[in-house]
Structure 1
């Protein structure tokens, strides 16, 4: 991808339903040129635009991050962890814990049960668990509390957006028996209520693989200012407040290591940050998203 491609992907990561005209205006291209680039990116299979439904809506409202200390090779352990429907993310990492994963379950008891089962896997020596207090920023998933009650029409629209986040309102309306205008009103309401977020998912491969780094922060005071500073960093793709050995969990991504190094130094210098532990994500074994009635919607990342 060149600089213009990366700019288009960044726009689609923030709002996957931007029109070709809106993309063209933002990146300084003609509408036809922006449309051609966007379609090429989507047609390559490297970039997908998906609707990601809030975990609470699909009955996965309890979240935890687990770091596995393993005996022997870690890849086999990671593959076993990735087979679980309640684990949407598995990564091989540097540092003491060779495998990290995220558990999304119906309740804290279900998370506890899952962690117990992971401990019993061959090759797992021990597990360090962080419980999420609040997800402040997700890669493309919606965050915050959800109070909106969805009906059958909403569910049908959400399923369609999970398959194709850029589906036209005409097609969405035809699917659920509404006019294009009616489908548009429904979709905008679901977006406004944080039931779903539509954004680009980048499938990392070859020379376009992004460098990714995880950070665990320990604070010496309140979290508000630190969270605000993290939210202003373009390299930061995930932020959660946690209970356990870290107060804040962060993921940063960039196309080269230089921006990650600069961001790491900036985080270390933030007032209120007492200690920073970092690790590199060497290989994403699985990265998927909760789907209505299906468990996961995305295939494991290559």
Structure 2
């Protein structure tokens, strides 16, 4: 996102991260500005190209139940490796980083067997020297899809999707703040029925509308990844970390570490403060951190077709 974001802009981004369909009246009350001023600010944030409001769809909708994170050490430059890894179908997210790891990536597959095949394809990319993997058991916080455990069939155990639902989801993942009239038009439903369907999809956890801030060379913010190991139960530590405003993503699982997360803040001082808070939490044994430099692939589930 371009520069010149002030404290009010940051509060709006965080509020939209929590609820991308929040009304301008609600947002205005939150930041203490007039509705018209608040709307203008949100539209400016969207217009600058760094902020997108999208419907993040639970991976179970795509038949994806095995997710995980990979950190990659390379022989030579990271860029060519990152670009080749990003071309793999199993890979949903790739960044280049500063630190021990040159590249980080996320994989999403149907099951453990296909996940293993995806890892093998990553390992086979020329220039990959070594990789470390953590498979997710729970998503605590992530702008790309609703939080919660990843057990199959997820929210689909409580809701059956039809063609109208798929049409709504397809449009929401492109435009999370689409009006109910627009959603009615693309789904073939009345505005009232579209509203009821969207609320059902949101409440069930099939979709979450939130704010995505793209990592670009022009980004004002700083994004740092971290891996942590904990003593004992991971859940109490994860809850405390996820509650921190500057934590953008957090997943826990099994593998080379107990959890993987991302800190996004407007200054390096704020990143350091958050990192120190994580390090100081009871139960945290070790924390390793790296700086995300550039996102090579950020499309995640938007790049996949909806299941028929």
TM over 0.5: yes
- Establish whether residue 285 from structure 1 lines up as the match of residue 265 from structure 2: no
Residue 118 (structure 1) aligns with: 122
Which of 181, 197, 201 is residue 186 of structure 1 equivalent to? 197
Q: How many pairs were matched up?
A: 295
Q: Structure 1 residue 149: deviation in Å?
A: 2.1
State how far apart, in whole Å, the 2-side matches of 1:292 and 1:75 are: 21
1:40 Cα deviation after fit = 2.1
Query: Distance in 1 between the 2:217 and 2:102 partners?
Result: 22
In structure 1, the partner of 2:43 is 39
**d(CA) in 2 for partners of 1:97, 1:33:** 43
Alignment match, 2:151 = none
**TM-aligned CA distance change 1:74 to 1:208, over 3 Å:** closer
Aligned counterpart in structure 2 of residue 201 of structure 1, from 204, 208, 212? 212
Note the alpha carbon deviations across 1:186-222, whole angstroms, 9 max, x for none.
0010000000010111124455432111121111111
Q: Which residue of 1 aligns with 2:305?
A: 294
TM-score (norm 1): 0.93
Alignment equivalent of 1:68, drawn from 72, 81, 93: 72
Distance in structure 2 (CA, Å) of the matches to 1:74 and 1:293: 26
Work out whether 1:49 is the aligned partner of 2:49.
Answer: no
Q: TM-score, normalised by structure 2?
A: 0.91
1:269 Cα shift?
A: 1.4
User: Judging changes above 3 Å, is the alpha-carbon distance between structure 1 residues 173 and 195 closer, same or farther for their aligned structure 2 residues?
Assistant: same
Structure 1: tracts of 5 or more residues without a match = 296-302
Alignment of 1:142-153 (within 5 A): 142-144=146-148, 145-146=154-155, 147=157, 148-153=159-164
Match of 2:11 in 1: 7
Counterpart residue number, 1:59:
63
Q: Structure 2 stretches of 5 or more lacking a match?
A: 149-153
